[in-house]
Amino acid sequence: MRWIENVERFVFGAECLGCGSPSGALDPWLCPECVKELERESTIDVAPGPDTYSLYPMRPLTRRLVHALKYRGISGMATYLVKHSASVRCGLLREEMSMFPKPLYFVPVPLHRARYRERGYNQAEKIAAALSLALGGKVCRWLKRKTFVVSQTKLSKEERERNVAFAFGCVLKKPPLSGTVVVVDDVFTTGATTSACLAAFGRDFPLPVKVCTLLYDEPASAVADFVADNQMEWKIN
């Protein structure tokens, strides 16, 4: 009964981005129960592969929040998710990065100009900025997007690799003498995008290169996540 939902929103305020329930105690986008759920998810250490780290596993709640970051114009969600990550505060990521050669260079995966105009910002840059503040270091736009690629969500691992092959270039003329590069993106699935970014640096790049994303989405669940994202788009529209 939609009229009841409208009355609840009027009485209690905006709705929670996690569960959709009207609430007068959002923090600032989640109700208290969803905040607790996010904290539980953040305690799970996620390392999809060697030198690769994710702050959260892909779950219904974390998927909705990253969807809000990418498609609902809520750019502040990047900082919110980094701040709420136990891995960043006192867990695996902080421990590992404390041992990396300094300084840390957080390099966001670039968006194509067309997507940037559509979205108004690059979500990877927002994540990189939040990580640099939390862990120390600086954001460096050392990669450029050379080609426009289709959405990766419905593609197989092999199709993803072909889709992003040669999609990125490195604009860094002279690498620094010390430090660690951390390539930053929103979601890690098969690693095709970040692998293409690593390839852009070249085999002779002198610094160690790591990868950090907000979410790890196991390839087997990626299609289901695509359907869920589209359902959220339909509800918004």
Ranges of each domain in the chain:
42-236
Pure H helices in the chain: 2-12, 32-42, 60-71, 77-83, 86-89, 92-98, 113-119, 123-135, 157-164, 192-201, 222-236
With 0-12 CB in 10 A as exposed, 13-18 as middle and 19+ as buried, what is 68? buried
pLDDT in tens, 122-174: 999 999 999 999 999 999 999 998 775 545 455 455 554 455 556 788 999 99
Question: Average pLDDT in the 66-95 region?
Answer: 96
Residue 212, φ and ψ in degrees, nearest 5: -140, 130
Angle formed at CA 93 by CA 127 and CA 206, multiple of 5 degrees = 80
For 228, residues 6+ apart whose C-beta sits below 8 A from its C-beta are 60, 63
| Residue 93, amino acid | L
Q: What is the torsional sign of CA 97, 103, 106, 107?
A: negative
pLDDT of residue 166: 65
| Contact predicate 113/119, CB 8 Å | no
The more confident residue out of 153 and 43 is: 43
* Whether 107 contacts 169, CB under 8 Å: no
Lowest mean pLDDT, pick from 103-107, 110-114, 161-165, 220-224:
220-224
- Select 42-236's CATH number: 3.40.50, 1.10.287, 1.10.10, 3.30.1360: 3.40.50
Range of lowest pLDDT (1-5, 156-160, 171-175, 202-206): 1-5
SS3 71: helix
- Residues of the chain with pLDDT > 90, as a percent, come to 64
More confident residue, 166 or 209: 209
